[in-house]
Protein backbone atom coordinates (compact mmCIF):
# COMPACT_ATOMS: atom_id res chain seq x y z
CA UNK A 1 0.00 0.00 0.00
CA UNK A 2 1.07 3.59 0.21
CA UNK A 3 3.09 5.63 2.69
CA UNK A 4 2.23 9.31 2.34
CA UNK A 5 3.92 12.06 4.34
CA UNK A 6 2.29 15.48 4.69
CA UNK A 7 4.35 18.57 5.52
CA UNK A 8 3.89 22.32 5.41
CA UNK A 9 5.83 25.55 5.48
CA UNK A 10 3.29 27.06 7.88
CA UNK A 11 0.17 25.66 9.53
CA UNK A 12 -1.99 24.91 6.49
CA UNK A 13 -4.12 21.89 7.25
CA UNK A 14 -1.64 19.02 7.57
CA UNK A 15 -3.29 17.39 10.58
CA UNK A 16 -6.85 17.91 9.31
CA UNK A 17 -5.98 16.52 5.88
CA UNK A 18 -4.11 13.54 7.33
CA UNK A 19 -7.06 12.69 9.55
CA UNK A 20 -9.56 13.12 6.71
CA UNK A 21 -7.50 10.74 4.56
CA UNK A 22 -7.18 8.18 7.34
CA UNK A 23 -10.91 8.25 8.03
CA UNK A 24 -11.83 8.02 4.36
CA UNK A 25 -9.42 5.31 3.25
CA UNK A 26 -11.09 2.26 1.77
CA UNK A 27 -8.29 0.11 3.18
CA UNK A 28 -6.94 -0.30 6.70
CA UNK A 29 -5.25 2.96 7.50
CA UNK A 30 -2.90 4.36 10.04
CA UNK A 31 -2.20 7.98 10.90
CA UNK A 32 1.15 8.59 12.56
CA UNK A 33 1.24 12.01 14.16
CA UNK A 34 4.94 12.78 13.93
CA UNK A 35 4.99 16.59 14.07
CA UNK A 36 8.10 17.44 16.12
CA UNK A 37 6.38 20.64 17.28
CA UNK A 38 3.88 18.47 19.15
CA UNK A 39 0.63 16.75 18.32
CA UNK A 40 -2.78 18.38 18.28
CA UNK A 41 -4.99 15.31 17.87
CA UNK A 42 -4.86 14.45 21.56
CA UNK A 43 -6.38 17.74 22.71
CA UNK A 44 -8.42 18.14 19.53
CA UNK A 45 -10.01 15.13 17.83
CA UNK A 46 -9.55 12.93 20.91
CA UNK A 47 -10.93 15.60 23.25
CA UNK A 48 -8.21 14.88 25.83
CA UNK A 49 -9.47 11.29 26.21
CA UNK A 50 -6.00 9.93 25.39
CA UNK A 51 -3.46 10.44 28.14
CA UNK A 52 0.22 11.26 27.78
CA UNK A 53 0.84 7.57 28.54
CA UNK A 54 -0.04 6.72 24.95
CA UNK A 55 1.80 8.00 21.91
CA UNK A 56 4.88 8.60 19.83
CA UNK A 57 7.25 9.61 22.61
CA UNK A 58 7.06 6.15 24.16
CA UNK A 59 8.32 4.62 20.92
CA UNK A 60 11.60 6.50 21.31
CA UNK A 61 12.02 4.89 24.71
CA UNK A 62 11.13 1.45 23.34
CA UNK A 63 13.46 1.81 20.36
CA UNK A 64 16.40 2.03 22.71
CA UNK A 65 15.46 -1.39 24.06
CA UNK A 66 15.62 -2.93 20.55
CA UNK A 67 13.50 -3.65 17.51
CA UNK A 68 11.34 -6.20 19.28
CA UNK A 69 10.38 -3.69 21.94
CA UNK A 70 9.75 -1.06 19.28
CA UNK A 71 7.45 -3.36 17.32
CA UNK A 72 5.51 -4.24 20.45
CA UNK A 73 5.27 -0.61 21.57
CA UNK A 74 4.19 0.54 18.14
CA UNK A 75 1.15 -1.73 18.26
CA UNK A 76 0.46 -0.89 21.91
CA UNK A 77 0.39 2.85 21.32
CA UNK A 78 -2.08 2.90 18.46
CA UNK A 79 -5.57 4.19 19.15
CA UNK A 80 -8.50 2.78 17.20
CA UNK A 81 -10.75 5.40 15.71
CA UNK A 82 -13.44 3.12 14.30
CA UNK A 83 -15.26 0.12 15.67
CA UNK A 84 -13.70 -2.30 13.20
CA UNK A 85 -10.18 -1.36 14.28
CA UNK A 86 -9.22 -0.78 10.66
CA UNK A 87 -8.34 2.87 11.26
CA UNK A 88 -5.77 3.68 13.86
CA UNK A 89 -3.86 6.69 15.08
CA UNK A 90 -0.48 6.99 16.73
CA UNK A 91 -0.93 10.18 18.82
CA UNK A 92 1.93 12.66 18.69
CA UNK A 93 4.26 14.31 21.16
CA UNK A 94 2.79 16.14 24.14
CA UNK A 95 5.70 18.57 24.30
CA UNK A 96 8.06 19.85 21.57
CA UNK A 97 10.92 19.31 24.03
CA UNK A 98 10.46 15.56 23.40
CA UNK A 99 11.42 15.92 19.72
CA UNK A 100 15.22 15.55 20.09
CA UNK A 101 14.66 12.16 21.77
CA UNK A 102 13.00 10.96 18.56
CA UNK A 103 15.88 11.90 16.28
CA UNK A 104 17.65 8.54 16.47
CA UNK A 105 14.34 6.62 16.32
CA UNK A 106 12.98 8.03 13.06
CA UNK A 107 14.82 5.53 10.79
CA UNK A 108 13.46 2.54 12.72
CA UNK A 109 9.98 4.06 12.76
CA UNK A 110 10.19 4.65 9.01
CA UNK A 111 10.98 0.99 8.62
CA UNK A 112 8.00 -0.12 10.71
CA UNK A 113 5.72 2.08 8.61
CA UNK A 114 7.17 0.62 5.42
CA UNK A 115 6.44 -2.91 6.61
CA UNK A 116 2.90 -1.99 7.72
CA UNK A 117 2.31 -0.66 4.23
CA UNK A 118 4.08 -3.30 2.13
CA UNK A 119 3.23 -6.38 4.16
CA UNK A 120 0.32 -5.30 6.33
CA UNK A 121 -1.78 -3.69 3.61
CA UNK A 122 -2.09 -0.41 5.48
CA UNK A 123 -2.27 3.03 4.00
CA UNK A 124 0.10 4.93 6.25
CA UNK A 125 -0.40 8.69 6.50
CA UNK A 126 2.35 10.58 8.28
CA UNK A 127 1.71 14.02 9.77
CA UNK A 128 5.27 15.35 9.60
CA UNK A 129 4.21 18.85 10.62
CA UNK A 130 5.80 22.12 9.71
CA UNK A 131 9.24 21.93 8.13
CA UNK A 132 12.23 23.57 9.77
CA UNK A 133 15.45 24.36 7.93
CA UNK A 134 19.08 24.71 8.98
CA UNK A 135 21.62 26.00 6.45
CA UNK A 136 19.24 25.33 3.57
CA UNK A 137 18.61 21.70 4.52
CA UNK A 138 15.91 20.04 6.59
CA UNK A 139 16.62 20.51 10.27
CA UNK A 140 17.86 17.26 11.76
CA UNK A 141 15.84 17.25 14.97
CA UNK A 142 12.97 19.59 14.13
CA UNK A 143 11.95 17.67 10.98
CA UNK A 144 11.43 13.88 10.87
CA UNK A 145 13.49 13.66 7.66
CA UNK A 146 13.93 9.84 7.67
CA UNK A 147 10.15 9.48 7.49
CA UNK A 148 10.15 11.63 4.35
CA UNK A 149 12.98 9.58 2.84
CA UNK A 150 10.99 6.37 3.26
CA UNK A 151 7.62 7.68 2.06
CA UNK A 152 6.24 6.87 -1.38
CA UNK A 153 4.98 10.42 -1.68
CA UNK A 154 5.77 13.62 0.21
CA UNK A 155 3.09 16.26 -0.08
CA UNK A 156 3.67 19.89 0.68
CA UNK A 157 0.31 21.10 1.99
CA UNK A 158 -0.48 24.64 0.83
CA UNK A 159 -3.49 26.87 0.78
CA UNK A 160 -4.64 28.53 -2.41
CA UNK A 161 -3.47 31.96 -1.29
CA UNK A 162 -0.46 34.02 -2.30
CA UNK A 163 0.75 34.15 1.32
CA UNK A 164 0.75 30.38 1.58
CA UNK A 165 2.55 30.00 -1.75
CA UNK A 166 5.15 32.62 -0.82
CA UNK A 167 6.11 30.64 2.28
CA UNK A 168 5.94 27.25 0.58
CA UNK A 169 8.28 28.44 -2.19
CA UNK A 170 11.20 28.45 0.28
CA UNK A 171 10.65 24.80 1.10
CA UNK A 172 10.53 23.27 -2.36
CA UNK A 173 14.27 23.31 -3.06
CA UNK A 174 15.37 21.87 0.31
CA UNK A 175 12.69 19.18 0.00
CA UNK A 176 13.66 18.33 -3.57
CA UNK A 177 17.33 18.12 -2.62
CA UNK A 178 16.58 15.98 0.41
CA UNK A 179 14.50 13.48 -1.55
CA UNK A 180 17.05 13.40 -4.36
CA UNK A 181 20.00 12.81 -2.04
CA UNK A 182 18.44 10.54 0.57
CA UNK A 183 14.87 9.66 -0.40
CA UNK A 184 13.20 7.96 -3.33
CA UNK A 185 13.88 10.82 -5.73
CA UNK A 186 12.35 14.23 -6.51
CA UNK A 187 9.35 12.59 -8.20
CA UNK A 188 8.01 11.71 -4.75
CA UNK A 189 7.34 15.38 -4.09
CA UNK A 190 4.03 17.06 -4.87
CA UNK A 191 1.46 19.47 -3.52
CA UNK A 192 -1.75 18.89 -1.61
CA UNK A 193 -3.83 21.98 -2.24
CA UNK A 194 -6.35 23.20 0.35
CA UNK A 195 -8.88 25.14 -1.69
CA UNK A 196 -9.47 28.16 0.51
CA UNK A 197 -8.18 30.92 -1.76
CA UNK A 198 -8.23 32.26 -5.29
CA UNK A 199 -5.29 30.33 -6.74
CA UNK A 200 -6.13 27.45 -9.04
CA UNK A 201 -4.17 24.20 -9.21
CA UNK A 202 -2.25 25.14 -12.38
CA UNK A 203 -1.19 28.46 -10.83
CA UNK A 204 0.00 26.66 -7.71
CA UNK A 205 1.90 24.14 -9.81
CA UNK A 206 3.56 26.96 -11.78
CA UNK A 207 4.40 28.96 -8.68
CA UNK A 208 5.99 26.02 -6.86
CA UNK A 209 7.21 24.09 -9.90
CA UNK A 210 5.64 20.99 -8.41
CA UNK A 211 2.69 18.87 -9.51
CA UNK A 212 -0.53 19.35 -7.56
CA UNK A 213 -1.15 15.71 -6.76
CA UNK A 214 -4.38 16.19 -4.80
CA UNK A 215 -6.77 18.85 -3.57
CA UNK A 216 -9.19 19.14 -0.65
CA UNK A 217 -12.09 21.57 -0.32
CA UNK A 218 -12.38 24.22 2.36
CA UNK A 219 -15.09 22.85 4.63
CA UNK A 220 -15.04 24.56 8.03
CA UNK A 221 -17.75 22.45 9.71
CA UNK A 222 -16.14 19.10 9.04
CA UNK A 223 -12.69 20.52 9.76
CA UNK A 224 -13.93 21.87 13.10
CA UNK A 225 -15.27 18.44 14.01
CA UNK A 226 -11.92 16.85 13.13
CA UNK A 227 -10.19 19.48 15.30
CA UNK A 228 -12.48 18.66 18.21
CA UNK A 229 -14.09 22.09 18.22
CA UNK A 230 -17.32 21.36 16.38
CA UNK A 231 -20.11 18.81 16.51
CA UNK A 232 -20.12 15.77 14.27
CA UNK A 233 -21.63 16.37 10.83
CA UNK A 234 -24.79 14.33 10.30
CA UNK A 235 -23.07 12.11 7.77
CA UNK A 236 -19.31 12.48 8.19
CA UNK A 237 -18.53 9.98 5.47
CA UNK A 238 -20.65 11.87 2.99
CA UNK A 239 -19.05 15.24 3.76
CA UNK A 240 -17.29 17.04 0.92
CA UNK A 241 -14.00 16.89 2.82
CA UNK A 242 -14.00 13.14 3.40
CA UNK A 243 -15.33 12.48 -0.09
CA UNK A 244 -12.52 14.52 -1.60
CA UNK A 245 -9.99 12.89 0.75
CA UNK A 246 -11.10 9.47 -0.53
CA UNK A 247 -10.68 10.62 -4.14
CA UNK A 248 -7.33 12.20 -3.28
CA UNK A 249 -6.07 8.97 -1.73
CA UNK A 250 -7.05 7.09 -4.87
CA UNK A 251 -5.07 9.51 -7.04
CA UNK A 252 -2.10 9.36 -4.69
CA UNK A 253 -2.08 5.58 -4.59
CA UNK A 254 -2.17 5.51 -8.38
CA UNK A 255 0.69 8.02 -8.57
CA UNK A 256 2.77 5.98 -6.11
CA UNK A 257 2.12 2.77 -8.06
CA UNK A 258 3.09 4.46 -11.32
CA UNK A 259 6.38 5.57 -9.79
CA UNK A 260 7.13 2.10 -8.50
CA UNK A 261 6.15 0.53 -11.81
CA UNK A 262 8.36 2.82 -13.84
CA UNK A 263 11.20 1.93 -11.54
CA UNK A 264 11.98 5.53 -10.86
CA UNK A 265 12.96 4.15 -7.51
CA UNK A 266 13.51 0.61 -6.25
CA UNK A 267 10.19 -1.03 -5.19
CA UNK A 268 11.58 -1.50 -1.70
CA UNK A 269 13.47 1.70 -0.92
CA UNK A 270 16.68 1.22 0.97
CA UNK A 271 15.82 1.98 4.57
CA UNK A 272 18.07 4.64 6.07
CA UNK A 273 19.46 2.27 8.69
CA UNK A 274 22.64 0.18 8.74
CA UNK A 275 22.40 -2.93 6.55
CA UNK A 276 22.94 -5.38 9.40
CA UNK A 277 19.97 -4.19 11.43
CA UNK A 278 17.68 -3.79 8.41
CA UNK A 279 18.28 -7.41 7.45
CA UNK A 280 17.08 -8.53 10.88
CA UNK A 281 14.22 -6.12 11.22
CA UNK A 282 11.47 -7.75 9.20
CA UNK A 283 10.68 -10.72 11.50
CA UNK A 284 10.42 -8.50 14.55
CA UNK A 285 8.35 -5.93 12.76
CA UNK A 286 6.06 -8.75 11.71
CA UNK A 287 5.09 -8.82 15.38
CA UNK A 288 3.41 -5.44 14.88
CA UNK A 289 1.34 -6.86 12.06
CA UNK A 290 0.27 -9.82 14.15
CA UNK A 291 -0.79 -7.61 17.02
CA UNK A 292 -2.61 -5.18 14.76
CA UNK A 293 -4.48 -8.04 13.15
CA UNK A 294 -5.80 -9.23 16.50
CA UNK A 295 -9.45 -8.36 16.96
CA UNK A 296 -9.63 -6.57 13.65
CA UNK A 297 -12.84 -6.93 11.70
CA UNK A 298 -12.52 -7.49 7.98
CA UNK A 299 -14.61 -4.73 6.36
CA UNK A 300 -15.29 -6.92 3.33
CA UNK A 301 -17.11 -9.74 5.16
Interacting residue ranges for ligand ADP, rule: CB under 6 A:
8, 11-16, 40, 194, 216, 218-220, 223-224, 227, 241
By Cβ distance, which residue is nearest to Mg ion? 15
Contacted entry of ligand ADP, Mg ion, none for residue 33, CB cut-off 5 to 8 Å set by kind? none
Length of the chain: 301
Q: For every residue of the chain, which 3-state class applies, written as one string?
A: CCEEEEEECCCCCHHHHHHHHHHHCCCCEEEEECCCCCCCCCCCCCCCCCCCCCCCHHHHHHHHCCHHHHHHHHHHCCEECCCCCCEEEECCCCCHHHHHHHCCCHHHHHHHHHHHHHCCCCEEEEEEEECCEECCEECCCCCCHHHHHHCCEEEEEEECCHHHHHHHHHHHHHHHHHHHHCCCCHHHEEEEEEECCCCCHHHHHHHHCCCEEEEEECCHHHHHHHCCCCCCCCCHHHCHHHHHHHHHHHHHHHHHHHHHHCCCCCCCCCCCCCHHHHHHHHHHHHHHHHHHHCCCCCCCC
Q: Which is nearer to ligand ADP, 237 or 280 (CB)?
A: 237
Q: Which is nearer to ligand ADP, 21 or 79 (CB)?
A: 21
Asked if 15 touches Mg ion (CB under 5 A), the answer is yes
Contacted entry of ligand ADP, Mg ion, none for residue 143, CB cut-off 5 to 8 Å set by kind? none
| Contact window for Mg ion (CB under 5 A) among 7-15, 140-148, 154-162, 216-224 | 7-15
Q: Which is nearer to Mg ion, 15 or 29 (CB)?
A: 15
Question: Phi and psi dihedrals of 125, rounded to 5?
Answer: -110, 120
Contacted entry of ligand ADP, Mg ion, none for residue 253, CB cut-off 5 to 8 Å set by kind? none
Q: Shortest gap between Cβ of 90 and ligand ADP (angstroms)?
A: 15
Q: Shortest gap between Cβ of 39 and Mg ion (angstroms)?
A: 8
Q: Shortest gap between Cβ of 64 and Mg ion (angstroms)?
A: 27
Q: Shortest gap between Cβ of 162 and Mg ion (angstroms)?
A: 22
Q: Shortest gap between Cβ of 19 and ligand ADP (angstroms)?
A: 8
Contacted entry of ligand ADP, Mg ion, none for residue 12, CB cut-off 5 to 8 Å set by kind? ligand ADP
Site size with Mg ion, rule: CB under 5 A: 2
Q: Which is nearer to ligand ADP, 45 or 122 (CB)?
A: 45
Alpha-carbon dihedral of residues 288, 289, 290, 291, nearest 10 degrees?
50
Q: Shortest gap between Cβ of 72 and ligand ADP (angstroms)?
A: 29
Q: Which is nearer to Mg ion, 14 or 188 (CB)?
A: 14
Q: Shortest gap between Cβ of 39 and ligand ADP (angstroms)?
A: 10
Binding residues for Mg ion, per CB under 5 A? 14-15
Amino acid sequence: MTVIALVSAKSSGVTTSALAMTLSSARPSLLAECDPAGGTLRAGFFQAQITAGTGLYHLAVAERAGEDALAQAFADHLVRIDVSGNRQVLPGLTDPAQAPALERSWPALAQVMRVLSDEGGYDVIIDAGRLALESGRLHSSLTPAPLLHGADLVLLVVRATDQSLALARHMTEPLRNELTDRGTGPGALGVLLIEDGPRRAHEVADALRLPVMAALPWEPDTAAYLAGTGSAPRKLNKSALLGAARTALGHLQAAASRRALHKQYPPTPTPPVPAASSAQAAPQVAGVLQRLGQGRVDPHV
